[in-house]
Chain A
Amino acid sequence: MAFTNINIDTNTLPQAAALEMQPMPQAYQREIMTQLVIIFVPVFLVSWLSWLLPIPEPTVKFVFKFLPLLIVVIAVLVSVLTVMQFRVKAYALREQDIAYRSGLVFRKTVLLPFNRVQHMEVTSGPLQRRFGLASLKFFTAGGASVDLKIAGLEAPEAERLRIFILRRSQGNNVS
């Protein structure tokens, strides 16, 4: 139909859609939940302070009474969505490429062949370091910024992947 004059038997092609994806480590879930706590607790506390504000308007003051409750509701919603989003994130390593799946509603799968990787970076923020995690960033040609970022990998795993892929990308690089 759309595919004509193909010299390869398409049935023998390795299928990316059938990949078994590896979920992110549990430590990552703990890290992002900690991030949410760090954000919402101060906001929650500050919202209590709004009760002390000398606002003349009675209706506004009444609305402000509900602010802490609103914050709690939002925090719960965000947490639930974040956990659901975490469950979607997964990656898979093949001989010649890496796949990464993410996104709750807009589910995206990125496939990146090793021999197109120009360079990689392993970075680790302060919170990530506490949980023993790191992010692995991939850069290809023609992209001004990061092409693929896998956050929440266990630090030794991230380093192992970097070395593994680096060897593959240099081996086949004909530039």
Chain B
Amino acid sequence: MSADSLHQWHRISPLAILFFIGSFVRNILTHGLPAVIVAFAAFMSADAVISDWTLRGILVMAAAGLGIALLQYLRFRYCINDGHILVRSGVLHREELDIEFNRVQNVTIKEPFYMRPVGLAVLSIDTAGSKSKEINLAGIERKLALEIRTTILAGVESESATVADRKDLPAGLLLALTRRDIVIYGLTANFLLWVALAIGAIFGSENITEKFFGWLASRYELEEAVTILQNEGGLLLVALVFGLGLFLLFLLLPLLSVIGALFRYDGYRLTVDGETYRKSAGLLTRHDESLKQHKIQAIVWKQNAVACFFKRINIQLRQVSAGTGIEAGQLPGGGKSSFIVPAVKPEHANELSAEFMPGCQAASTIWSPVDRRRYILIKLILVALPLLPLSLLLAIGVNWKFGLMLPLGLMLTGLVFNRCWTKLGYGVNGDYGFVRQGFIGTVTTIFPMFKVQRIDIRQTPVQHRKGLAHLTIHLASHSLKVPYVSMHDASLFRDLALYQAESSEQPWY
């Protein structure tokens, strides 16, 4: 397909209807999971009327979904010209999007299993900006997708100023992960959060829990079993069996997480070509994501307790995010604006970070602690404030032993806070800023000083007297808070970051 023919409005393949259906289902599951669970519970209800009506409702929804997907396919058109991509889409909410190439954050080519046999793919374009739209050209020829991606990335490259020195560096494979590595990642990842939420949604309501167990018992004739257990071993036995059931359920969570990870990251390959990093992964749907080096705002090394055990680090490359600063960084997997390099061995982590951020010497960073006394003291006070009246109330009202709650609670939380303090640290090494925190595991953020967006320094009168301050570093991807830093260090950090941000000729985006 010649470049000229791209300058017209094009339709996508009818196979895109499947893609739209998939998106529709995904949307329902993410935004309406409680509703789905309630619908499921209603469907399984013993009452035939409710069951019937629920079935009818589900069928209507399915038909509607199909209809909408069809309309979406009919409405969708795209056109590429002169450093812009134009997209017309939307059924009820008609949209015409105009994206400049140099506003594109990264480009991903996804190959779902139903498109691969026919040589089609989905081209996903991620943009930064307050609306953070993701455009999906679903069902275009794979070769065309690659062509468009090259065009867009070339457009992005020409806008950036002094990156010529990068061109003579070799292209090549940076990382290839085995299935074992992906399983390890699955065990460390946050998919558990979503599953736990789902479980929580089900068991959140007592009514539903009772009905569920009642249904379970009646379905599998457990009532007899429960009464027998009760007669034999009393309530304790019932609790034990119930506990065992829950335990097995909890073993299911890591399994689901590993399965999820395998679907998303199987066969992970990370390559570099000049200034572009390319990662390719996935079992059913192959995701081929590209990211330009200068779009990286920060690198986050995540090592939770499980990752510590396996001696691996999960690296996130953070990009510009439209989320609310700190919160956006805590989405499972870091949200859309995050490129993940999972299950990296510590020695590779240093190498890779130097690759992503030239001149970054993570290993030689000197970490500075924050003020220990204030950090632990203030945190303990915040714990003591609710704990004191509570323990007093219970001690007087119920049993004097509850009074012990206060010293014990403070001691315990004190130990926790002390541990957190040892993990908390910051430093500046060359042109890069480092912030670290954690409890059992560690989260380390590395960022080029010149990419700082804004710096806040906050002091209470007491902190002012003691020469301490809270430093907040705002990056385009997320914000970092370092509490109880010495005012001298906070000021110096601020001055350095501002100097770099204001004098650097490099494109920060």
Q: Which residues of A contact B (CB under 8 A)?
A: 1-8, 10, 13-17, 96-97, 103, 105-116, 139-145, 147-148, 172, 174-175
List residues of chain B with CB within 8 A of the CB of A116. Answer: 452-454, 501, 508
Q: Which listed residue, B429, B453, B455, B477, touches A5 by the CB 8 Å rule? A: B429
- Whether A144 contacts B323 in the complex (CB less than 8 A), given A109-B456, A112-B454, comes out as yes
For the complex, what is the distance from the CA of A113 to the CA of B476, rounded to whole Å?
A: 13
In the complex, how many residue pairs between chain A and chain B have their CB atoms under 8 Å apart?
151
Chain A residues closer than 8 Å to B324, beta-carbon distance: 143-145
B458 touches A108 (CB 8 A): yes
* Contact indicator A103/B160 (Cβ below 8 Å): no
4 cross-chain pairs, A with B, having the tightest CB-CB distances, nearest first: A2-B368, A142-B476, A174-B507, A96-B502
| Chain A residues near B499 (CB-CB < 8 A) | 8, 13-14
**Which residues 463-482 in B have Cβ within 8 Å of A in the complex?**
464, 474-478
- Could you say which residues of chain A place their CB within 8 Å of the CB of B306? none
Once the chains bind, are B458 and A107 in contact (CB under 8 Å)? yes
**Contact yes or no, B159 A175, CB < 8 A:** yes
Smallest distance from the beta carbon of B256 to chain A beta carbons, Å? 31
Chain A residues near B492: list those with CB within 8 A.
3, 10, 13
Partner of A6, one of B130, B365, B496: B496
Which residues of the other chain, B, contact A4 by a CB distance below 8 angstroms?
Answer: 364-366, 427-430
CA distance A66 to B37 in the complex (A): 54
Scoring B365, B431, B457, B506 by chain A CB atoms within 10 A of each residue's CB, the highest score goes to B457
B207 CB within 8 Å of chain A: no
B460 at the A interface (CB under 8 A): yes
* B494 touches A (CB below 8 Å): yes
Chain B residues in 8 Å Cβ range of A139: 130
- Is A142 in contact with B474, judged by CB distance below 8 angstroms? yes
* Chain B, 302-328, CB within 8 A of any chain A CB: 320-325, 328
- The answer to whether A148 and B458 touch across the interface, beta carbons within 8 angstroms, is no
A142 to B464, CA, bound (A): 30
Residues on A with C-beta less than 8 A from B459 are 106-107
What is the CB-to-nearest-CB distance from A127 to chain B, in angstroms, rounded to a whole number?
28
Instruction: Please give me the residue from chain B that is nearest to A110 by CB atom.
Output: B456
Complex Cα gap A160–B494 (Å): 26
